Structure 1
Amino acid sequence: MRLPNVLAITLVGTGLAACGSTMDRLSQVGQTPKLSAIENPTAQAGYKPVQMPMPSVQPMAYSPNSLWQSGSRTFFKDQRARNIGDILTVKVEISDKAAFDNSTERTRKSSDSTGVGGAVGTAIDKIVLPAGMSSSDLASTDGASSYKGTGTIDRSESLSTNVAAVVTQLLPNGNLVIEGRQEVRVNYEIRELVVAGVVRPEDIASDNTIESTKIAEARISYGGRGQISDVQQPRSGQQVLDILLPF
């Protein structure tokens, strides 16, 4: 399929999708953004159970007249999350700063010349080549290329908040898979916070909280949707052109 046809089909599909989105937005003029319904995270489209390397299962052993259970991590039970469905609080603390400055410059120049001299060249001049041309300079090429690129990154991010998460899986080695979502609506803007990952029960504090830095395979997302976020985003047609246009 030729590129113009692909571009036309893409634009038509984008236009239809944008039309449906526009109608939805028009029906919500003057209304606050709707909050998402509370749903089971494991029932969401695209959800995949976590699979990680596990140690060998150790058999349980009980000692007569002993209160201690072999393999147990604690002597007294508490209210910290340890089973599927339990809730714990994640303390999200992110302070990130990065600065990079890169510069690249490249220059190349080449020149080639090909000719024939002597008796062979004289014969070629008289028999083969038209008047005014010489075999001493049959072909010549010149080429030059230049490239210069610069890039600068100066980024600073800071986030401090808390979010409650639910234990969605209990791994064979006792680690917990957690996932938490939080939505806050302020006027016509919704702020969304998503936290997911794997935690050790030992890292959960006595007040049933855990720091985000102790979450393995952490996935933390903080963003928003609403009128302000919509204005800050380029239109759908512009996004399509940015992807398809080669220049």
Structure 2
Amino acid sequence: MYSFPRNTKSMTKTALLATGLSLVTLLSGCGNVVDRVSRIGEEPPMADIQNPTAQPGYKPVSLPMPAPTSDSRQPASLWRQGSRAFFKDQRAGRVGDILTVVIEIKDQARLNNATTTARDGSNSADLPNFLGYETLLHKVLPDAVNPNALVQADSGSNTSGTGTINRTEDIQLRIAALVTQVLPNGNFVLQGSQQVRVNYEMRDLRVTGVIRPEDISSLNEVSYDKIAEARISYGGKGTSSDLQQPRYGQQLYDVLFPF
């Protein structure tokens, strides 16, 4: 019976391993491709309304808490501060209440950086006299050695760098968010999401963070700059979004190509 050499067996195992890895990579990418092919001619599906605290990966927020502050409402008073109604405060105050998050971002940044560095160095050394032994240098070093010019070194370096950043952002959005948790100091954890589908394009807006009840206005609104640990995401998916992304092969090439 013919037996393969050890090197051939090792090469065969390596080839099988490489083929398996290629198939895994191909199948992992095919799942998305098959899903997209199955949805040709259909609108992107909308997600069902679900309890945010029951979603996979949801974790209650735990932060260092200051001592709770006293309620600013006056006892034995029919009118409560910040209330839109005479007998009832319309602002969110419990888990499950809804409030509006107002997002108005107008950000503009322009940075220009230029760096130039230069450095020169020169060193020299000689040994014309050393206890009379300088005459014996020709026995250790070549005959043409010159004690007056034993060492000489020059060095130089130059660096030049330039960077420019020019960014302008203008986002104006409003989204209803849900109070998902009341922290021990009375602050609220909010989470909101919104999906809008127009033809074959889906726009997805998400916001989460921590707010103070005092920052909720009488209109039951809170500005995005009053949200601590704010996470605001505004993106989309669909035909237009797919065209703005490089093809899978190009993305893989960009990741693996080292130059």
Is the pair's TM-score, using the shorter chain for normalization, greater than 0.5? yes
Q: How far apart are the structure 2 equivalents of 1:141 and 1:236?
A: 53
Quote the residue 1:117 is aligned against. Answer: 128
Deviations 1:170-205 (A, max 9, x none): 122322111100111222221111111122233323
Other structure's SS at 2:197 match: strand
Segment of structure 1 superposing worse, 225-234 or 112-121? 112-121
Once the two structures are TM-superposed, the CA of residue 164 in structure 1 deviates from its matched residue by 1.0
Partner residue in 1 for 2:115: 104
Mean Cα deviation higher: 85-94 or 132-141: 132-141
Q: Give the equivalent residue in structure 2 for 1:154.
A: 166
* Cα offsets for 1:30-86 (capped at 9, x unmatched): 3322222322222233322222333446899xxxxx8569xx997832332211111
C-alpha distance in 1, partners of 2:122/2:256? 37
Change (3 A) 1:143 1:46: farther
Counterpart AA for 1:76: F
Q: Is the 8 A contact 1:95 1:157 kept in 2?
A: yes
TM-score by length of 2: 0.73
User: 1:159: Cα distance to partner?
Assistant: 0.9
Q: Does 1:166 align with 2:178?
A: yes
**Aligned mates of 1:113, 1:153 — CA distance in 2:** 45
CA RMSD of aligned residues (A): 3.3
Q: Secondary structure at the match of 1:165?
A: strand
TM-score by length of 1: 0.76
Letter in 1 for 2:108: K
> 1:91, 1:42 → 2: CA distance?
23
User: Residue 178 of structure 1 contacts residue 199 of structure 1 at CA under 8 Å; is this kept in 2?
Assistant: yes
Q: CA deviation at 1:162?
A: 1.2
- Please say which of residues 185-194 and 158-167 is displaced more in the overlay: 185-194
Match of 1:182 in 2: 194
Deviations 1:86-130 (A, max 9, x none): 111212111111111111111122233344333544421x21223
Q: Report if aligned partners of 1:14, 1:237 keep a CA contact under 8 Å in 2.
A: no
CA contact (8 A) 2:82 2:89 kept: no
Q: Which moved more, 1:165-174 or 1:106-115?
A: 106-115
Indicate the residue corresponding to 2:37 in structure 1.
26
Contact 2:177 2:192 in 1 (8 A): yes
Unaligned runs of 5+ residues in structure 1 are 1-7, 61-65
- Counterpart Cα distance in 1 of 2:252 and 2:124: 47
* 2:234 paired residue number: 222
Q: 2-side partners of 1:121 and 1:18: how far apart?
A: 76
Aligned length: 231
| Residue pair 2:69, 2:185 contacting (<8 A) in 1 also | no
1:46 aligns with 2:61: no
Structure with greater Cα Rg:
2
Distance 1:26 1:122 in 2: 89
- Tell me the percent identity: 51
One of 93, 101, 111 as aligned partner of 2:104? 93
The reply on whether 1:82 has 2:106 as its aligned counterpart is no
Q: Matched residues in 1 for 2:76 and 2:56: separation?
A: 45
